[in-house]
Each structure stands twice: as C-alpha cells, then as structure tokens.
Structure 1
Amino acid sequence: MTHTKRPIRIANCSGAACDPGQHMYNQAKCGPVDVITGDYLAEMNLATNAEETAKGTHPGWIPTALDGLQQTLDIANEKRIKIIINGGGLNPKGLAEKTLEMVVKEKSLNLKIAYVDGDNLLPRVNSILKKIKSGEYGHLDTTNSDITLAEDSNAFIDDPEGMPIVCANAYLGYRAIKKGLDEGADIIICGRVADASPVIGAAAWWYGWNEVDYDALAGSLIAGHLIECSTYITGANFAGAYKYPVQELMNLGLPIVEIESSGECVVTKHEGLNGMVTADTVKCQLLYELQGNIYLNSDVKADIAKIKVEQEMTNKVRVSGVKGYPPPATTKLAVFYRAGYQSEILINATGYATDHKWDYQEAQVRSKLDEWGVKLDVLDFQRVGVPKENPDSQLSSTTYLRIFCQDRNAVNLGKVAAAWAWNGMAHFAGMHGTLDMRTAMPKPFLGFYPATIPQSELEEAVNILGSDSKRIIVGSPRKTESIQPRENYTPTQPIPLEHFGTTVMRPLGDIALARSGDKGGNVNFGVYVQTAQQWDWLRSFMTHDQMKKLMGRDWKDWYYIERVEFPTIYAVHFVIYGPLGRGVSSSKLLDCLGKGFAEFIRAVHVPIPVRFLPRAQI
C-alpha cells in the first residue's frame, strides 16, 4: 500500500470531563492541525450521570465538550478542521443536535454534523445478563482460570431488583467514525467509543485504509492511546517531572500526533504552548493502562512487544515497531449497577505513640459493632501517613485514619458512625478532625462489571444530520481472531544479580521511571530504565516474587500477577489482578484509580548496583 499524502496531524483536546473547553480552542488556534479529537469519558462518567439523565435533570453529554465546541466552531470552520469527540456521553444525539443548532441558527457556518450511536445496550441488558449467567458471555478477566474475581463481583446478576443496572455501554471502534468522515461530516459526536477510536477513524479516513490494513490501524491505535489522556504526555502525571522547574509545568499544552501512511507516528505539540514531549514522557504514557504486550481494540489488535520510542528533535518523538492483527470477535461492555451504600470517617492523630492510638480507635469501633451484632460487607481501617520524627510543625506530625465501609443496607451502615460516636468522648490523646461528619452518612455507590460480548450484539451506526440526514449501520468486522491467553513469563535469560557488583539500598526511583493506572479491578504497572546495562539488571531483578515483595503489606495471596517485557524500551510491565476490587466506583482503596501505585513502588528501597548511581547518591 503506497501513499504520497503528508502525515495527518491529529490534536487531542481532552482526557477527562474536567478538561476545559479552552484546550479545544487552543489546539485549533495555535498551529496547523487537520483533526481535533477528545476523550471525555472515564469509565465512571456515564454511570455517574445515568440516573440524572434518565430523570431529565442532566443532559447526558459532557458540559466541557459543549464549551469547547462553542469556543472552537468558528475557527474550525475557517481552517476546515475536523472535530471528533466522545463528549456525547449518554446522549450523543442531543449534543449533535445542539451543535447543529449552533452551526446553522447561531453562526451560519459550513459544517456538517454527525453522531455515532449503538453503544447503549441498556434496553437489551437483561437478555445479555442471561447469557452471562449461563456462561455464554463472561467477565473480562475470567478467560484466565488463575484469576480470582473480587468478592460479590457477580452478585448483581442474581439480584436484579436489589442491585439494578443503571447503564450498560459497549466500547465501539473506528468504523462508524470513518464512515461519517467519508460522508463529509466535519464534526462527529460519539458516546462510548474506545479511547483511541477517534484517532484511528481520522487516520483511516485520511489515508483510505480498509479493515485489513492491520499494521497501519495498529500504529494509529497506539498513537491514539498516547494522546488520549490530555497532558499526561506533555508533563503531567510524569514520574520525571521533579527534574523540571515548577514554572515549566504550569498551563501545559496538549499533544499532537503526526500519523504517517504506515501507521508510524511522531508525537509533538504546538510550539507556543507549555510542556514537553520527550522519549520519557512518551514511554510513561505508553505503559499507562496496558494489559500486557497486546493492546486490544474492537477493530485491531496491536502487538507492541517490539515498539520503539526515539527522540527525533526537541518536542518530537517517533513511535514505531507496532504490528497489527485481526481484532477479537468481542468487545467490552461496561455495566454499572447500584451495589449498595458506603461511607467513611476521617480522624486525625498527632505525634507520640500514633500506632497505639489507631489500635485503640479501631478496637473501640469494632467491639461496639460486634456488641450490636452488626456485620458489614466491607469495614476497613486505613492508616494514612507516618508522623515525622522530631517534627517541626504540628501538621508534619499528623496522620489520619480512614474508616471505610460498605453494605447493601443503609441502616446497617449508619451504625458505624453511631459506634464511633458512642466512644466519641472516650477518645485517644489529642484526637481531632474537621468535625464535618457528612462523609459518614451512607451514600449510594455503583458496582462495575466489565463483560465481554460479541460485536454482533451491536448496531454501531453513524447518523448524518441536516437536509441530507441518514443513518448508516457499519456492521461487525469481517475478519476476527480469537483472543489468546495473555503472555506471562519470568525474566528472559536472567543475569545473576551479583554480576552487577556492589549494591546500596536506594529508592527504585533513583534509576527507574514508571506509570500505573486502573483497568477494572486491576492495577497495571510499567517500569523502565535508560541504558542497556540497567535493563539487564532491571529485567533480572523485577520478577513476579520481587513485585510481591515491593508491594509489602498491600500484597494479598488471592491477587494474581502477569509479567511481560518490552526490551526495545527497557521496560517491564505487570498487571496485578484484584487490588481495586470491583473497580474505581466501588474500590475501598484511597488510590481507587491506581495512579499512585507506581510512585509508591518507586519509593521502596531496593539493592541498586552502585555502578548505576551518581556518586552523590551513594
């Protein structure tokens, strides 16, 4: 396949619902781009707004997406920039019609509007649940018999009245987006498409790729993955940010990918916007929210085992080496349901004998609940922080206890605050807090179930609005492959650690950068180094057992670990199954998105070879 077209320049304008509309405007204003894409939907967004949308008290779309369109339509019309965003949320049709109204009635612009739908399977979810219950469909993680799901993961299936489903949205691919662009659409509003699908769709339209151009599609999938998270690749959530002055990290600009006809890309940004694009920022984002060396999309499988990340010049990083294969016949269906109620109480302790104070407080609450015969689904006492030795301020000597609890019965849950209050004046020395007990009041929470369903269950379509309105169903991929078990292996040709010479106990982060995040109930963690010699040490050192050891008291025997290597970028990647329970919406962890996990592991002291450390650190 030969193409003479220049690379398509695709700019990202959002990675979450909180990203302001000005980012879309800046990407259009500050330099040449062909397409602007935006990812507004974390897995929780749709569920959070579902019940309000059903009641008519929420529009269903993401307000910041509308704000971005309002600011950007004029300049997009002037520069002929295409815009593809998933900010339609639960109501892509509504946001598309609102956009059409702005384009036609308010601004008289020459822009054709379309929307993609077919992701909302709530009307048919009961029939899908029957197939999950029978075993015909299943949980995303149950393809591996070694994995144990969090307790009560399947409870909602047997209790549809007590734990009703609030939304069920499938992850759609690029084909409806590309079809809309082929039909002349300038702005395409999507609901729950996969994060990278707008980028794949734009590149496939630009070059005229078809469904079997797997290497090119896979390259654009990874390009989309790299820019989907807003400023995460221009300096934000970056393990190496401490090396930069704070001022250089203020008001970060968002990234751009220049995708070539082969699918290879160059990650960059507008020169006039703050931030940086380096091999390190790209590697960190690449390792974010992976599940091993195969990246799945409903249109293509991307094998990144031999991916290359190379700095070409300032703020330009080339990404290559991605191989593509036919997609799976299935896609993910994100099911959210009312799982019960949760609450938390925060209590502070200062200074001397803190461990004894927390032992005392926990015993008081537990004994009173036992006396009353109260048993909860979850009751967790989380000790946050360590008081500074010989403190120079009261705050530096203060830590807090987070009493976190969940139960299907709100009255039952309310007994926790009552148990704490019963002992309220019999507290340990110096107990204090905000005196705001609103977090202790039971509030409903949602459970999450990531199912896999056949793509044949979907009616993925693009809808063209205006005088030539039409609806085009794109159907399922013509060729698919079954999903193979994820790779999981010990170090390849490990080198005995004594080979690396004298060691000193230092934080792993002294020589390694890392990134972590959530995938359902799991935490993924990628860590990498800079040189071939460091790589020989890292891959030999970072075993399954070492990962467990680094997690310390956080490791549970029912968790499961997968491990793969990326030798071309000197990285080891782990998926730890289980720590987030049923996922972000119901996780008991303070770090419910797993974002802090990598920085925790980097802070753990390990025996690092002296030869790899600057003399000042020895």
Structure 2
Amino acid sequence: MVLHTEKRPVKVANCSGYHGDPAFEMYRQATLGDVDFITGDYLAEVNLANNAQAWRNGEHPGYEPTAWDGLQQTIDVIAQKRIRVVINGGALDPKALALKVETLVSEKKLNLRVAYLSGDDLYPTLGPNMPTTKDELRHLDSANTSTAPADLTYAFLNNGGNPVPMISAHAYLGARGIVEGLRRGADIVICGRVADASPVIAAAWFWHGWCETDYDELAGSLIAGHLIECSAYVTGGNFADFDNYDLDSLVEPGFPIAEIARDGTCVISKHPGTDGFINVDTVRCQFLYELQEIRTSTAMSALISPTYMLRRLGTIGMCSVDEAAAFLKSVLISGIRGSPPPPTTKCAIFYQGGYEAQLLLNATGYGTPKKWDLLEKQLRHFIPADIMNDLETLEFQRVGVTAENPRSQLDSTTYLRVLSTSRKQSAVISVAKAMGNISLKHFSGFHASLDMRTAIPRPFLAYYPAIVSQSGINETINFIDGPNKISSFGTGHPARYEELGTRDTYDPKDPQTYTCDTKQIRLGDIALGRSGDKGGNLNVGFFPKSPCHWPWLQDYMTKDRMRQLIGTDWDDSFFIERVEFPHIHAVHFVVYGILGRGVSSSTRLDGFGKGFLDYVRDKFVEVPVDIFQN
C-alpha cells in the first residue's frame, strides 16, 4: 500500500465544473505549470438522470464524453509528470470509462494504474419504482420541522395507485473510497456521483497522510474543494462585481488551483498568464455559493459533506497574498473546524414526472397588465373543468416590464410564460387547444414567437432529494489489473458518526440604531454576493464592497428584510434561515421551498436560483448617510 506524507502543500488543479466545460482545460491545467493532482466535477444533479434510461437500454455509454476527451488529450502528460487524476466523469458507468482509459494506457505502454469507484448507484436497491408512502424514503428536509414541503414534493404518490417508474437514484459518496484507491497505487480514479468536493478532499487526505479523525484538516480540504470545483466560478466567472473589471479579462478565465497545507489551510490560485483573476471577493462569492444546509450546535454554520461535517464556519478567514498590479493572484483560507460525518448522505432521485409544455406569448406597450389579465381569464375559461383537475401545474408567469417612453418595440415588449404539467399528456395538450379557441378573440396587439415547439407536450423528469444511511452503502474501489481482471476492495465506513444538530438561524443580536438621514441606493451599489440552488431550496449570501459597511449590512439583512426583498414571489409556505460569517463580513440565507421540487421539475424561469442575487441587488434600499463618512 502506498502512503504519501509530503510536508509541502499539495497542489490540486480543477479542470471541470460541469460536463459542458471544454475537455482541453484538463490539458491546460497539466501543462501550464506543475500540479500534483487534477480533479474534475462533471455532474450536476440532473446529468445522471438525463442519460440513465438510455444507458440502461444500451443507447448511451454512461460516462461524460468531455471527461474521456480530456483524458485522451492529456494522458501522455499525466504519465510524464506523474500527475494523479480524480474525476467524477464516470457518471452512470465509471467502470466503462475506466476500461477505456486502461485500454488507452496499455496501447501507449504507459506506467499508470487505473481504478474506478462504485457504490453510488442505488437504483438496483431503491428502484424500479418510486415509494408508495412518504415514510419509505425520507426527504432531505424531512428533519426540519420548520419547513413545509412544496405542494408537489410527493407528486409520485398521486398516480391513482399505479407505480411511478424511477429513472435513477445516486447517493453522494465521500472521499474515503478515493483515498483507499490512491493508497493502493491508483494514478487515475474514475468516480460516479461523489460529492463535488470529494476528489479534492481525497487528494489532500492521501497526500498528507491524515487520519479519518483529523476533522479540522479534512474540513479545510472540503472548503478548498468547494472553492475550486466550479471551475471559473472562483476566477471571475459568475462574479457579482464583474462590471468593474476589464471585460476582456473575463472572456476565458483560467481554471483554479488549491494548494492545501498539512494543517488544512489552503491558498486559491491559478496558473500565471491565464485570464480572469482571483481576489478575496471572488473567493467570498464562491464560498457563499450553494451552501446546502446550515446546522449547528453553536452559533456558527455547518456545510454538510458525506465524508465529514464542517462546524464553526463562522471562524473562516480569508486574506490576499502575492499582490501583483491590480489583481491579487491568490487568497489564503484558514480557520476551518470539523467534526465526524453525519450518519446519512444525500441521494438524488429522479422519476417520470409526466408531461410538460409552455406557451410563450408576447404583448407590447400600452395596457400590458390588463392584456395579461384578459388572456389568463380566457385560457381558464376554455380549459374544460375536468382537465383542470388533471393539471398538476398551471402557472401564468409575467416576464419583464415595458420601458417608460420606449425607444424601440422590443423595449416595449414583455412575454407571458404559461407553464403546464400533468401526468396525462392529453391534459397538457388541452392548454394549447384552449389557446386555439381564443383565436381572434385576443387582446390588442397580441403576437407570439414563430417557433411554437415548446407548446408540444414532452416527458419531463421530476426530482426527489432523499437521505439514505451511509452504513448501508457498499462503496468499493476497483482496479483494472489486466484483460478481464478486476480487483475490488471494500472501503468500509467511518468509525464514528455524529448526528446533525438543529439548524441554526438567527437575526442580529444587538442591531445598531441609525438616527441620521438616509439616501436611497441600489443594494448592489454597496453589496456583492452569490446565489444558487440545492434542490427546492435557494441559497443567497451577501457581503459589503467596503469593510466599513459591514455593521450596517449585518444589521439590515434580517429574515424579515429578506422576505420584503423577495417581493411578490414570497409565499407563506417558504421558510428562511439566516446565519453570519463575521470574519469574512458575510450574511447567508436559505429560502426553503421557493424553487418547488427543484432541478428539472422547478417551474421558475430561474429554476437554479442563479439570478436571484442580482434581482435583490437591483432593489433600492435606504442607507444611513453616516456610513459613507468612514
């Protein structure tokens, strides 16, 4: 067994944050400088489900093509520079990709050992159909008694007693199986659905020879993995303050590198000469992105991982190092504390949700609100009552507002998104038929896109996030040791688990009172941040552009304030959590239920919550003038 106990930091370069990232980024990360590991995250929650049925029917290879392409381009450099590779591009069939890589290695006569991780695919155990009761498979948020599930969370129970086919079920694995593979000599480890940060955690765990009870060090590597797993999201992509930088530098940002020290601290950087930039603000934005759950036993926050749990994130610190010209090349992360893993892990389940369709209809200018009022009344009138009972969803979403004194017709045009879903295709078709019945009875100036393909019902996948016991997962590392020979090793389970505590949520304890005059500005003029999704829940975090504005932002951004800022999108079935990260001057919210069922079955136009932050930052807020005197 290979043990690695280098004292210097391990240098881990990320080459992918999604299957759409170009394959050549793996080659760039391997050749533009020296790195010890290349990791890649190719999976979003819906990736696996989109191809699962075709894969089981023998119509899809199961793995992500960009992962294979990247390995083909880079394999010679990997062998020459002795770079270890850990990626989740194996997706549905890590074995299939590992076999292709082994064949490539053999053809080139390279000295590389290939392994793949299995155990995440729980479809054989949980499928082929969805549960028939709520208790058979617990929802991810079921332990949170403060939240109420979205209306269609358990839609699979409403099928007249008929079974609802499950498409896929994948548990989120941690890092221990990858570490076992590295310790047994693997140079390339192909994974399926491991947690996004698991490859980076495993790289540092193996490199420094940590024990599984080195919770603080492991927690630090989890943060490192979280910061770099979304590729350019920490080097200028999806950056709230992008408009204050040279746009040419953001056309093709370089991908990030985490240098993780033996004590778990890390420095986030990128290869010299690549575009984009890294500074404390880009790192804070990515840190606040898609924090899944906030549970603590003290007044700090926790980011949950199937490998272990982070506690006391309120102690996290960031500072810039290696300042050059206008940009800070790297950022040091410290102050992370950890604890044992929870006994459960997330399992992303997709099932046949039925059929969906949307109508995209346009209105221009004068009297637009009344036009949409009339059209909604007409559609509801022409849809038969029995059909209305079969529709799970019928939403009329008004998108955009007309410009005042418009300069062009496009400035004056908005559209209505009529979204319908049902387990019956005929019910969704009836919505389009009702539109036909309106015919020339429409409002003044009605028009629509020439492309009406979206009005044709199509099957869609519904999402159900569950929790499963970690002790019931049979995680295995498998080595390809020659033609038709695979050596497999069980990776066991953690020696100790720690139950998740009650989710923490609090407002400022001693808010400051301002008695001076105020002025109205956009929130985005004073605050940055990031938003995203975890299933049906939306996460959003804020921090001030200037440190002297933190006391005001900390006091201003309360749970009630967030409800106000959500505006008419707020529903009383939602629930808000709020925590603070005082050392990085950030406040973070989770809005439970606002994205409905989430992922592929969210009915919101911004179904992944990516635009929510800038919606809120565009709102006018009253700010005390005194805070600008500092």
Q: TM-score range by the shorter chain?
A: over 0.9
CA contact (8 A) 2:134 2:154 kept: no
CA contact (8 A) 1:36 1:81 kept: yes
CA contact (8 A) 1:163 1:340 kept: no
Once the two structures are superposed, the pairs formed by residues 459-478 of structure 1 within 5 Å of their partners are 459-467=474-482, 469-478=486-495
The residue number in structure 2 matching 1:25 is 27
Does structure 1 residue 409 correspond to structure 2 residue 424?
yes
CA contact (8 A) 2:392 2:421 kept: yes
| Cα shift at 1:272 | 1.9
Distance in 2 separating the partners of 1:46 and 1:127:
16
Amino acid at match of 1:491: P
* Offset from partner CA, 1:175-199 (integer Å, 9 cap, x none): 1101111111111100000000000
| Cα shift at 1:372 | 6.8
* Offset from partner CA, 1:394-438 (integer Å, 9 cap, x none): 211111111111111110110000111111322222222222221
Distance in 1 separating the partners of 2:205 and 2:362:
55
The residue number in structure 2 matching 1:377 is 392
User: Out of 440, 448, 463, which is 1:448 matched to?
Assistant: 463
The residue number in structure 1 matching 2:325 is none
> Structure 1: 5+ residue runs without aligned partners?
none
User: Out of 49, 52, 75, which is 1:50 matched to?
Assistant: 52
The residue number in structure 1 matching 2:42 is 40
Distance in 1 separating the partners of 2:582 and 2:34:
35
TM-score w.r.t. structure 2 length? 0.94
User: Out of 549, 560, 576, which is 2:575 matched to?
Assistant: 560
CA contact (8 A) 1:369 1:419 kept: yes
| Cα shift at 1:603 | 0.7
* Offset from partner CA, 1:89-118 (integer Å, 9 cap, x none): 00000011011111112x222111110010
The residue number in structure 2 matching 1:426 is 441
The residue number in structure 1 matching 2:254 is 253
* Offset from partner CA, 1:358-402 (integer Å, 9 cap, x none): 112111111111567533111111111111111112211111111
CA contact (8 A) 1:374 1:415 kept: no
Once the two structures are superposed, the pairs formed by residues 515-534 of structure 1 within 5 Å of their partners are 515-534=530-549
Distance in 2 separating the partners of 1:26 and 1:504:
48
Residues 371 and 521 of structure 1, relative CA distance in 2, 3 Å threshold: closer
User: Out of 321, 338, 346, which is 1:312 matched to?
Assistant: 321
SS in 2 for 1:424: helix
CA contact (8 A) 1:383 1:402 kept: yes
SS in 2 for 1:296: coil
| Cα shift at 1:503 | 1.3
Amino acid at match of 1:154: Y
| Cα shift at 1:133 | 3.9
| Cα shift at 1:3 | 6.9
The residue number in structure 1 matching 2:403 is 388
Distance in 2 separating the partners of 1:4 and 1:178:
15
SS in 2 for 1:593: coil
Residues 559 and 29 of structure 1, relative CA distance in 2, 3 Å threshold: same
CA contact (8 A) 2:278 2:330 kept: yes
Distance in 2 separating the partners of 1:104 and 1:614:
68
Does structure 1 residue 600 correspond to structure 2 residue 615?
yes
Amino acid at match of 2:167: V
Distance in 2 separating the partners of 1:608 and 1:524:
24
The residue number in structure 2 matching 1:297 is 305
The residue number in structure 2 matching 1:122 is 123
CA contact (8 A) 1:530 1:570 kept: no
CA contact (8 A) 1:156 1:164 kept: no
CA contact (8 A) 2:6 2:208 kept: no
* Offset from partner CA, 1:49-70 (integer Å, 9 cap, x none): 1111111111111111111111
CA contact (8 A) 2:40 2:229 kept: yes
The residue number in structure 2 matching 1:208 is 209
Distance in 2 separating the partners of 1:510 and 1:530:
8
CA contact (8 A) 1:195 1:228 kept: yes
The residue number in structure 2 matching 1:167 is 168
CA contact (8 A) 1:39 1:85 kept: yes
The residue number in structure 2 matching 1:486 is 503
User: Out of 347, 355, 361, which is 2:369 matched to?
Assistant: 355
The residue number in structure 2 matching 1:148 is 148
Distance in 2 separating the partners of 1:317 and 1:194:
24
Residues 186 and 591 of structure 1, relative CA distance in 2, 3 Å threshold: same
| Cα shift at 1:535 | 1.5
Distance in 1 separating the partners of 2:342 and 2:163:
34
Distance in 2 separating the partners of 1:115 and 1:143:
33
SS in 2 for 1:486: coil
- Aligned CA RMSD, in angstroms, stands at 1.9
| Cα shift at 1:40 | 0.6
Does structure 1 residue 548 correspond to structure 2 residue 593?
no
Amino acid at match of 1:194: A
* Offset from partner CA, 1:490-517 (integer Å, 9 cap, x none): 1122112x25x32112111110001010
TM-score w.r.t. structure 1 length? 0.96
User: Out of 598, 605, 627, which is 1:583 matched to?
Assistant: 598
CA contact (8 A) 2:129 2:165 kept: no
CA contact (8 A) 1:341 1:445 kept: yes
Q: What percent of counterpart residues are identical? A: 49
The residue number in structure 1 matching 2:354 is 340
Distance in 2 separating the partners of 1:472 and 1:372:
57
SS in 1 for 2:303: strand
| Cα shift at 1:250 | 0.8
SS in 2 for 1:491: coil
Distance in 2 separating the partners of 1:20 and 1:134:
41
Corresponding residue pairs, total? 610
* Offset from partner CA, 1:324-357 (integer Å, 9 cap, x none): 1011011111111111111101011122211121
> Structure 2: 5+ residue runs without aligned partners?
295-300, 323-327
Distance in 2 separating the partners of 1:339 and 1:614:
56
* Offset from partner CA, 1:25-76 (integer Å, 9 cap, x none): 1101111111000001100000111111111111111111111111111111
Amino acid at match of 1:399: T
CA contact (8 A) 2:129 2:166 kept: no
Amino acid at match of 2:66: T
Distance in 1 separating the partners of 2:248 and 2:51:
36
